[in-house]
Structure 1
Amino acid sequence: LILATRAIATPLACGNTVILKGAELSPATQGLIIDALAAAGFPAGVVNYLTCAPADAPALVELLIAHPAVRRINFTGSTPVGRIIARTCGEHLKPAVLELGGKAPLLVLYDADLEQAAAGAIFGAFANAGQICMSTERIIVDATVAEAFVAQLARRAAALPASLLGPVVDMKTVTRCNALIEDALAKGARLLAGGLSDSTQMRATLLDGVTREMRIWHEESFGPVKSIIRVKDEAEALAVANESEYGLSSAIYSRDSARAWNLAQNLQTGICHINGPTVHDEAQMPFGGCKSSGYGRFGGRAGIAEFTELR
């Protein structure tokens, strides 16, 4: 509901008509938005809603992008699908806003408030079972405080009931997350909380000692399976954080806000939070990423510029 509302709110406010193509896994839920707008008095044809079977989605999306009445495209979803949409938009010279996958790093510096950092990491990692593009995927911690921080993090994760996380979207997600866990453990990672699952009600899972040889170092889990990476200093923390094809959200925890701010200037992400979780968004702020996390911005003046023509 949140993402679908965001997708159409700014274009409508800018005076456009819109077509919302519903997600194949939740068309009825997103249809509630259309019902609410109709009940509020929106004229027929201002907000249009299309749904289709998953197998028909590629053809429908290509048809929509190619149509001369469609002037802007905005997509929130996976990076592989985003690449296809970007290519199609390029063929038809249509501007697009793409909000794609993420591998958000959370940096815990040696002078961080460890309790605050642990709380932020747990929320950012496991809200909605980790199924948020901004979800904390990599917890990068300075070795001088790693033992104390990781112990606190493990306690918090182990205490989270699976019912609080909520289910993952389907068994494909479970299979993918299980494969990441098995690969990491086989290559030397340590399981601190959670573990393999045989249902969509997965537990909060933490893997310590994650290295570059492991799939989870590079791949987005999009589930409640998160990495802990220990580094020797701030320079290595920055290098590890930027060692990803993704660049959506990030966070830095430090008692020295100016130091954290300076470090943030060198993070290759569209968003950085100082002493706050990676999962946070405000309507007046520009929201979007770089690298394989997409391009364009929602929110604020930048969002208005995406859905208007400068003349």
Structure 2
Amino acid sequence: MPLTRDLLIGGKDVPAASGRVTEDISPYTGEVYATVAAAGAQDVTRAVDAADAAFPAWAALAPFARRAIFLRAADLLDARAEDVADLMAHEAGGTRPWAYFNVALAANIFREAAAAVTAPRGEVLNAQEEGALGLAVREPLGVVAAFAPWNAPVILGARAVAAPLAAGNTVVVKPSEDAPIACGLLIADVLREAGLPDGVLNVVTNAPEDAAEIAEVLIADPRVRAVNFTGSTGVGRIIGTHAARHLKPAVLELGGKNSVIVLDDADVDYAVDAVTFSVFMNSGQICMSGDRVLVHSSLAEEFTGKLAAKVASLRAGDPSHPHTVVGPLVTAAAAQRVAGLVEDAVAKGASVLTGGGDPEGAVHPATVLTDVPKDAALYYAEAFGPVCVLETFTDDAEAVAVANDTENGLTCGIITENATRGLQVARRIRTGIVHINDQSVADEPHAPFGGAKASGYGRFGGRWGIEAFSNTRWVTLATQQAHYPF
């Protein structure tokens, strides 16, 4: 029997006002895994009502009490690792190692949020008037609208709410229709069990056809004071436009067209392992995945042969099998989209080093292409699947130029045995994140995470997350009476 889940509003599991539900499909089997409530505009307003009502008490709660909730939530999530692995396999096609990584990082996001709650916040300012004291104080904003994506559902579900809640805000989260439990309801369940008060976190699930309306109604509500969105650049432009129209700050973490650069002094075997991880972890469905592999021409022959052999050996298929690396994409339609990008590239002159061909349901073969021309859609489009494009370069300047030849700017990996040279190259790469002697996929809960250009703006992690979801207020205290000219 499929699971059934309602909305979470004001601490209660409630059906949509209309009584509608929507199906949550397992990408590997194509079967209905769960049915969830399909919210409408009325339900969004109910959720904001609850969040707004809960805000004063949550913002006033002692920091040590708030910190304790996050620490309990982290331990509870860690204890659910096996259940989460089953959930992610069925709901999002996630492999078991990917699920365990999601749990571990999400738990640490909660722990970092706990630390941020009691971290020093604000500044004492020099005042112009004698005997006066100036303060710059960080204060919560109010209700935050959060949008959580499906691809790293537990990580990004936790990140959608942790910093806003730690800053003292309340939240209404709209999880992805493709993983509404893992990236929304699961996170709320854990926090509720940890003692989060009713109404502080509310979850509004929806049918795919209602997504645009739900988002617009949520952002437009005057009690919503900030927006937190992680997802594609295309949808991010829409979300950012809605937020700007209502003069609400937004943190947007969007897509990437990321490069891994293999310099001529790299350890080839290490580079092959690093690139394989970067491209094929979670079947390439990570905003940081390595779409472009740039290899110095002197290493190209050895690297290409070893990479093709390693990629061809990757186990694909059932995400619940412990040795599967390339599981299904989130839907069969997503696999067909990736196949279309490969087919278009080959038709325009690209060569297939390994992989290619038709998907089996939602499982697309792990694929490496070379000689992809600029007029192929894949050259600039984010693959978001188990596909990479291999290019060669002759000097560092050429590698930098190719890596920067994209509207996106999220992350980059530079494989080199010379840290000084790696840093020199890194400083010329226009991304929000760069990793020297490592590949492009990395996330740490205390680090400033975010992109440049069309990869969005704002930062998650540590104090940067708190700053993103709080406001600086100037407060002065006069210790003696002032003299006025009239």
Q: Would you call these one fold, judging by a TM-score over 0.5?
A: yes
Is 1:303 aligned with 2:465?
yes
Is 1:216 aligned with 2:378?
yes
Aligned pairs for 1:101-112 (under 5 A) are 101-112=255-266
Q: What is residue 181 of structure 1 aligned with on the other side?
A: 342
Shift of 1:72: 1.1
Shift of 1:287: 0.3
1:15-68 Cα distance to aligned partner (Å, 9 max, x none): 111111111111122311111111111110011111111111111111111112
Shift of 1:123: 0.3
Distance in 1 (CA, whole Å) between partners of 2:347 and 2:369 is 12
Shift of 1:304: 1.5
Amino acid at match of 2:332: M
Q: What is residue 284 of structure 1 aligned with on the other side?
A: 446
Assess if the C-alpha contact under 8 Å between 2:165 and 2:171 holds in 1.
Answer: yes
Distance in 1 (CA, whole Å) between partners of 2:209 and 2:348 is 37
Is 1:234 aligned with 2:396?
yes
Ranges in structure 2 where 5+ consecutive residues have no aligned partner: 1-153, 318-323, 474-486
Assess if the C-alpha contact under 8 Å between 2:174 and 2:204 holds in 1.
Answer: yes
Assess if the C-alpha contact under 8 Å between 2:449 and 2:461 holds in 1.
Answer: yes
Q: How many residues align?
A: 311
Is 1:195 aligned with 2:349?
no
Amino acid at match of 2:374: R
Identical columns (%): 48
**Moved runs in structure 1, 4+ residues, more than 6 A?**
none
* Greater gyration radius: 2
Q: The residue matched to 2:224 in structure 1 has which SS?
A: coil
Distance in 2 (CA, whole Å) between partners of 1:162 and 1:78 is 25
Assess if the C-alpha contact under 8 Å between 2:296 and 2:393 holds in 1.
Answer: yes
Assess if the C-alpha contact under 8 Å between 2:256 and 2:411 holds in 1.
Answer: yes
1:111-144 Cα distance to aligned partner (Å, 9 max, x none): 1111111111100100000000001100011111
| Superposition TM-score, scaled by structure 2 size | 0.63
Amino acid at match of 1:190: S
Amino acid at match of 1:14: A
More strand by share: 2
Bigger Cα displacement from structure 2, 124-133 vs 161-170: 161-170
Shift of 1:87: 0.7
1:68-107 Cα distance to aligned partner (Å, 9 max, x none): 2211101111111100111111110000010111111000
Shift of 1:210: 2.1
Shift of 1:300: 2.1
Q: The residue matched to 2:417 in structure 1 has which SS?
A: coil
Amino acid at match of 2:458: G
More RCO (CA 8 Å, sep 6+): 1
Assess if the C-alpha contact under 8 Å between 2:433 and 2:449 holds in 1.
Answer: yes
Ranges in structure 1 where 5+ consecutive residues have no aligned partner: none
Q: What is residue 180 of structure 2 aligned with on the other side?
A: 27
Distance in 2 (CA, whole Å) between partners of 1:120 and 1:210 is 22
Is 1:259 aligned with 2:259?
no
Q: What is residue 159 of structure 2 aligned with on the other side?
A: 6
Assess if the C-alpha contact under 8 Å between 1:211 and 1:229 holds in 2.
Answer: no
Assess if the C-alpha contact under 8 Å between 2:368 and 2:389 holds in 1.
Answer: yes
Assess if the C-alpha contact under 8 Å between 1:251 and 1:275 holds in 2.
Answer: yes
Amino acid at match of 2:308: A
Q: The residue matched to 2:392 in structure 1 has which SS?
A: strand
